[in-house]
Amino acid sequence: MKRNNLTLWLAAIPVYAFLYIPLIVVVVYSFNDSRLNAEWVGFTLDWYYKLFNNGEMLLAARNSLIIAITASLLATVLGTMAGLAIHRYRLKVLPILAFTPIAMPEILLGVSLLLFFLQVLNLTLGMVSIIIAHTTFCIGFVAIIVRARLQGMDDSIFEAARDLGATPWQTFRLITLPLIMPAVAAGALMSFTLSIDDFVITFFTKGVGEPILPIQIYTMIKISVTPEVNAISTLLMLLTLALIILANRLDAGALRGE
Amino acid sequence: MNRLRLTRWLVSLPPTLFLLLFFVVPSLLMIVTSFRYPGEFGGLAPLSVPATGLAEEGSGLYGLTLETYRFFFSDILYAEIFLKSFAVATATTLICLVMAYPVAMLIARSAKKYRNLMVLLVVLPFASNFLIRIYAWMIILGPESTFSHLINSVLDVLGLEPVMLLFSPFAVLVGTVYVHLPFMILPLYTNLEKHDPVLLDAAQDLGANRWQRFWRVTWPQSLPGVFSGSALVFIPVLGMFAIPDILGGTGDILIGNLIKDQFLGTRDWPFGSTLSIMLTLAVLSVAGLATWFARSRTASSN
């Protein structure tokens, strides 16, 4: 058994290294005093100064924050409803509607929404279309987390509340919501992370107006690779890391399990 | 009773309506669009006979057609790109499987108190922005990078021509494997964690060596995890466009790139929709196959 584990360690350590080395390289070069991401020259914070003086980038960050906050709020409300409904009422259609957008390649949702916004709604693509698109794929994630929480609970407490004369609204406000709150919060944080990171669906529903963070990064990568990209990447990594730790503390089981 | 029914509607109706409007309707619209004619200047030709006066301006085409589907099947190029996408997805899935298995096995066999931490370490990099993870490989595989210099000096010693690592099919594979590896590790680990170690002890007592224990005890039991992990890797890779777009060369075009070009480049919406529907069909058949395999395995082992 011991020797077996040693072989596994020898095979697993390179995989862990493969997962982390690229991210470490990005962070290290964000402090490198050279335009080229090739060799270490010396320590600098120039790329961060440049970043904070880049008006377009700041505007993009602000827009992405607005989108992520709005979309995650919408998705949390609708996704919590969906999670509750799927758990309680043995629905046939809603689970398919909520979970299929997660399982399909993102490009399909992006393209069909692009057609829909332009043809049916005659909507000028921009912040509103991106918010709708992000909400659509985040609902399923919130529903999964909320449902997992409900599945781990004893349904008889809800029956007890009803037997004691609580209205459905009272039951929800006083019993259900406090109990599922960690899952709701974890779902909200996960939606926020998914929204602020999403590139593919944003790419198709963005239009030509306002700058958006992932699109801005994409353009920078395609045109010229400068360590400014490393700087924004490092900051985004810190943000996601903080959110994940927060979500994990809120609902230890919900993000990992089921 | 009425109140309960009202509650049921109040809770399930808003998400259902939202998803009907923004998921089902757009999907149906995509199907309809695939049967239409492209407009002369991008977009779509009118669905019904154009009003007089406008008719002369347009191409004169309107209504529904199977033209885009005929076009799809008439040019071998599209079949080739679909095949290439399947090949990339298959290669990515296999490489992910080989890399993920030892990690998942190690986590499953570690002491309980370390397991969550080891899983978190797998998930953490995958939580950073998708573009950043691809960008990282642009740096590592770039022509001036330490890694490129190392590879090329080895090739030089061997008397071979230097290679360009970035903008190649190799770079695309590295990117797809890197982005999707956690999707393979997690379901594998969830499966392996449930195995009863008593079975391995029994096999050992009966004289099975390590390889026999793996191939005849662990591997067959892990197949449901292998199938769900493979589906989680294969399906998104099949529709990928950003990784070939950023890490690949001009020739490394997959279905996703083709679809992107139809909507944002040449603006041929009907053909773009047809390609999207073909991709959907491919995804559905792969998902169906994976579910079927996983089910038949679970059924036969019970």
To probe the interface with A, which of B1, B8, B10, B18 has the most A CB atoms within 10 Å? B18
User: pLDDT confidence of A255, banded at 50, 70, 90?
Assistant: very low
Quote the number of domains for chain A.
1
* CB nearest B23 (choices: A136, A229, A236): A136
Number of helices (H) and strands (E), helices first, in chain A? 13, 0
**Cβ-contact A218, A199 below 8 angstroms:** yes
DSSP result, B93-110: HHHHHHHHHHHHHHHHHS
Which residues in chain B are contacts of A106 at CB distance < 8 A? 236, 239
**Cβ-contact B297, B230 below 8 angstroms:** no
Digit-coded pLDDT (tens) for A57-100: 889 989 999 999 999 999 999 999 999 999 988 888 999 999 98
In a domain, A222, yes or no: yes
In a domain, A1, yes or no: no
Cα–Cα distance between A186 and B132 in angstroms, integer? 24
Give pLDDT, residue A236: 86
B29 contacts A119? CB cut-off 8 A? yes
* CB nearest B103 (choices: A12, A22, A240): A12
**Contacting B residues, span 86-105, partner chain A, CB-CB under 8 Å:** 99-100, 102-103, 105
CB proximity B171 to A under 8 Å: no
Which residues in chain B are contacts of A136 at CB distance < 8 A? 18-19, 22-23
Q: What are phi and psi of A8, to 5 degrees?
A: -65, -45
Which residues in chain B are contacts of A11 at CB distance < 8 A? 102-103, 106
Cα–Cα distance between A4 and A25 in angstroms, integer? 32
B242 contacts A200? CB cut-off 8 A? yes
Return the half-sphere exposure (C-beta side, CA atoms, 13 A cut-off) of residue B261.
8
Give pLDDT, residue B278: 93
Q: Which two tokens stand for residue B38?
A: 């492209």
In a domain, A78, yes or no: yes
Which residues in chain A are contacts of B263 at CB distance < 8 A? 111, 114, 204
**Contacting A residues, span 71-110, partner chain B, CB-CB under 8 Å:** 77-79, 81-82, 84-85, 88-89, 91, 93-94, 97-98, 100-101, 103-109
Digit-coded pLDDT (tens) for B167-212: 999 999 999 999 999 999 999 998 998 888 888 888 888 888 888 8
**Contacting A residues, span 126-155, partner chain B, CB-CB under 8 Å:** 132-133, 135-136, 139, 143
CB proximity A216 to B under 8 Å: no
Digit-coded pLDDT (tens) for A115-157: 999 888 777 778 899 999 999 999 999 999 899 888 888 888 8
Any residues with CB less than 8 A from the CB of B278 and at least 6 apart, and which?
B72, B82, B255
DSSP result, B153-222: HHHHHTT------SSSHHHHHHHHHHHHHHHHHHHHHHHHTTS-HHHHHHHHHTT--HHHHIIIIIHHHH
Which residues in chain B are contacts of A248 at CB distance < 8 A? 120
In a domain, A13, yes or no: no
Give pLDDT, residue B57: 47
The alpha carbon of B297 is separated from its chain's Cα centroid by a whole number of angstroms, namely 23
Digit-coded pLDDT (tens) for A5-57: 788 888 899 999 999 999 998 898 889 888 777 777 788 888 899 888 888 88
Which residues in chain B are contacts of A81 at CB distance < 8 A? 11-12, 14-15
Exposure letters A152-183 (e unless 16+ CB within 10 A, then b): eeeeeebeebeeeebebeebbeebbeeebebb
**Contacting A residues, span 188-207, partner chain B, CB-CB under 8 Å:** 193, 197-200, 203-204
A136 contacts B18? CB cut-off 8 A? yes
CATH code of A189's domain? 1.10.3720.10
Cα–Cα distance between A226 and B297 in angstroms, integer? 50
**Cβ-contact A2, B110 below 8 angstroms:** no
CB proximity B181 to A under 8 Å: yes
Which residues in chain B are contacts of A236 at CB distance < 8 A? 128-129, 132
* CB nearest B15 (choices: A106, A139, A200): A139
DSSP result, A112-145: HHHHHHHHTS-PPPSHHHHHHHHHHHHHHHHHHH
CB proximity B46 to A under 8 Å: no
In a domain, A7, yes or no: no
In a domain, A29, yes or no: no
CB proximity B37 to A under 8 Å: no
In a domain, A249, yes or no: yes
Which domains are delineated in chain B?
A: 27-65 (no CATH), 76-301 (1.10.3720.10)
What residue numbers bound the domain in which A216 lies?
Answer: 54-256
* CB nearest B139 (choices: A25, A119, A135): A25
* CB nearest A105 (choices: B109, B238, B272): B238
Q: How far is CA A258 from CA A14, A16, A148, A154, in A?
A: 28, 24, 6, 17
A85 contacts B127? CB cut-off 8 A? no
CB proximity A37 to B under 8 Å: yes
Return the half-sphere exposure (C-beta side, CA atoms, 13 A cut-off) of residue A246.
15
| 302 residues of chain B, pLDDT tens digit each | 577 788 888 889 999 999 999 999 999 999 999 988 887 766 777 666 555 544 444 455 667 888 888 888 888 889 999 999 999 999 999 999 999 999 999 999 888 888 888 888 888 887 778 898 999 999 899 888 888 888 888 888 888 888 888 899 999 999 999 999 999 999 999 899 888 888 888 888 888 888 888 888 889 989 888 988 998 899 999 999 899 999 988 878 899 999 999 988 888 889 999 999 999 999 999 888 878 877 776 665 54
User: pLDDT confidence of A257, banded at 50, 70, 90?
Assistant: very low
Cα–Cα distance between B48 and A144 in angstroms, integer? 43
In a domain, A95, yes or no: yes
**Cβ-contact B114, B122 below 8 angstroms:** no
- From the list B2, B31, B3, B62, the residue with the least C-alpha distance to B270 is B31
